[in-house]
């Protein structure tokens, strides 16, 4: 039993003095929201850091994805979207709430991302887009997905909520597909308390996204479209600026945690650790451990409960698979046996920048015992 409770994550925060410095100008200008100077400064910094051509900031990742789907014309078009059942439910809700139908494609057992070999069999004349997810910071096979999308003239929007700062072959992950959504929720590698963004290539989407998150208003005298409200305010943008300054240090600390877990779990029969992908600069977002009860002797749920008794709170993430949730299980859905199996056996362990290596050792030893 550890004395203080250890949760699966703990939000990164800057020094309070740094934050006060960053928000001080707001108390002079009273410009608290509506794409003010801090929003614009933060947007520029993020474009640089993520190395993407265009970026629009949102109040959260979910609204960023919902509005990206709409901005790219999919809501008007209607139809089916090929997506993954192994994700946070936000991905699927964003599709469904745009009047589109999710079609679930199974995942790969090695990195838990959408299996590109299974996509083409699902494409029909109704298919309009593919919305894959970079799971735990494992990136999708972006090249294969790109080839399939081009061949069938489909739009690709990545849910990159887990993939902040990742590079593939030296290219920012937000450059793949037609658009990518990032989440800056408090629990993510990088946070603005709540927040999110859409990265995209084609400049024409900038105005559309701006309108959608701002009631469809463009100038003083007219309303062009039917928008909602999903603007990132100045206080959150300031939090982003502070946290972005510390991001490299934060990722390095997470890396040390991941390497320590790996040291304990590597080669243990029945435990599968995450495989590092080739050509990928990782952000060490999550530590998923796949537990094969037949070999290891204990199930995922056993370990979850055991750790809870020790004051250590892990997460069954992602569980259940989306196509097994009450709200989706009766919708069009083919069998996705790999996603089902992974969702039943995966456990996400505590991982955050100031989790000490001693704590990692304690957690690992409890599991191994």
Ligand X SMILES: *Cc1c(COP(=O)(O)O)cnc(C)c1O
- Please state, in angstroms and rounded to a whole number, the distance separating the CA atoms of residues 113 and 350: 21
Going by the DSSP 8-state scheme, the letter that residue 271 receives in this structure is E
Q: Of 296 and 315, which CB lies nearer to ligand X in the complex structure? A: 315
Residue ranges in 216-326 assigned as alpha helix (H): 234-245, 247-265, 293-296, 300-309
Binding range to ligand X, per CB under 6 A, among 104-112, 148-156, 159-167, 263-271: 159-167
Task: By CB under 6 A, tell whether 92 contacts ligand X.
Answer: no
Task: By CB under 6 A, tell whether 56 contacts ligand X.
Answer: no
Among 108, 162, 208, 340, binds ligand X (CB under 6 A): 162
- Render 189-223 in DSSP notation, one character per residue: SS--SS-EEEEES-THHHHHHHHHHBTTB-SSS-B
Give residue 1's Cα distance to chain centre.
32
Total chain residues near ligand X (CB under 6 A): 14
Task: By CB under 6 A, tell whether 213 contacts ligand X.
Answer: no
Q: Residue 161 Cβ, how far from ligand X at the closest point, in Å?
A: 3
- Please state, in angstroms and rounded to a whole number, the distance separating the CA atoms of residues 235 and 32: 7
Q: Residue 134 Cβ, how far from ligand X at the closest point, in Å?
A: 8
Q: Residue 224 Cβ, how far from ligand X at the closest point, in Å?
A: 26
Task: Give me the residue whose beta carbon is nearest to ligand X.
Answer: 61
Task: By CB under 6 A, tell whether 159 contacts ligand X.
Answer: yes
Q: Residue 28 Cβ, how far from ligand X at the closest point, in Å?
A: 30
133 close to 158: Cβ distance less than 8 angstroms: yes
Burial status of residue 69 (CB atoms within 10 A of its CB: 0-12, 13-18, 19 or more): buried
Q: Residue 263 Cβ, how far from ligand X at the closest point, in Å?
A: 27
Q: Which residues are CB-neighbours of 330 under 8 A, at least 6 positions away?
A: none
Among 87, 92, 113, 314, binds ligand X (CB under 6 A): 87
- Render 160-176 in DSSP notation, one character per residue: -TT-TT-EETTEEGGGS
Task: By CB under 6 A, tell whether 62 contacts ligand X.
Answer: yes
Among 42, 88, 176, 319, binds ligand X (CB under 6 A): 88
Among 108, 167, 185, 340, binds ligand X (CB under 6 A): 185
Q: Can you give the binding site for ligand X, defined by CB under 6 A?
A: 60-62, 87-88, 90-91, 133, 159, 161-162, 183, 185, 196
């Amino acid at each position: 039993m550890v004395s203080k409770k250890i949760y699966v994550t703990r939000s990164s925060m800057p020094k309070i003095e740094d934050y006060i410095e960053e928000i001080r100008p707001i108390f002079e200008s009273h410009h608290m929201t509506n794409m003010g100077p801090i929003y614009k400064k933060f947007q520029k910094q993020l474009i640089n850091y993520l190395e993407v051509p265009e970026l629009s900031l949102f109040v959260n990742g979910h609204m960023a994805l919902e509005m990206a789907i709409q901005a790219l014309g999919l809501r008007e078009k209607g139809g089916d979207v090929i997506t993954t059942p192994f994700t946070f439910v936000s991905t699927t809700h964003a599709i469904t709430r745009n009047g589109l139908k999710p079609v679930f494609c199974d995942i790969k057992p090695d990195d838990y991302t959408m299996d590109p070999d299974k996509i083409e069999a699902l494409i029909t004349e109704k298919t309009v887009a593919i919305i894959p997810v970079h799971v735990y910071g494992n990136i999708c096979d972006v090249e294969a997905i790109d080839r399939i999308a081009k061949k069938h003239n489909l739009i690709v929007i990545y849910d990159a909520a887990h993939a902040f700062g990742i590079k593939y072959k030296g290219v920012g992950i937000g450059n793949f597909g037609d658009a990518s959504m990032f989440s800056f929720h408090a629990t993510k590698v990088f946070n603005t308390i709540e927040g999110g963004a859409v990265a995209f290539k084609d400049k024409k989407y900038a105005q559309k996204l701006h309108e959608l998150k701002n009631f469809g208003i463009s100038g003083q005298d007219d309303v062009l479209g039917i928008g909602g409200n999903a603007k990132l305010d100045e206080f959150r943008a300031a939090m982003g600026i502070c946290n972005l300054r510390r991001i490299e240090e934060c990722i390095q600390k997470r890396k040390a945690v991941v390497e320590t877990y790996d040291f304990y779990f590597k080669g243990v029969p029945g435990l599968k650790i995450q495989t590092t992908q080739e050509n990928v600069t990782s952000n060490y977002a999550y530590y998923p451990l796949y537990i094969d009860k037949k070999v290891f002797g204990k199930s995922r749920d056993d370990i979850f409960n055991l750790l809870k008794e020790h004051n250590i709170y892990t997460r069954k993430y992602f569980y259940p698979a989306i196509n097994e949730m009450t709200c989706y299980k009766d919708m069009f859905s083919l069998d996705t046996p790999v996603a089902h199996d992974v969702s039943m056996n995966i456990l996400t362990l505590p991982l955050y920048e100031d989790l000490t290596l001693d704590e990692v050792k304690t957690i690992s030893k409890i599991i191994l015992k």
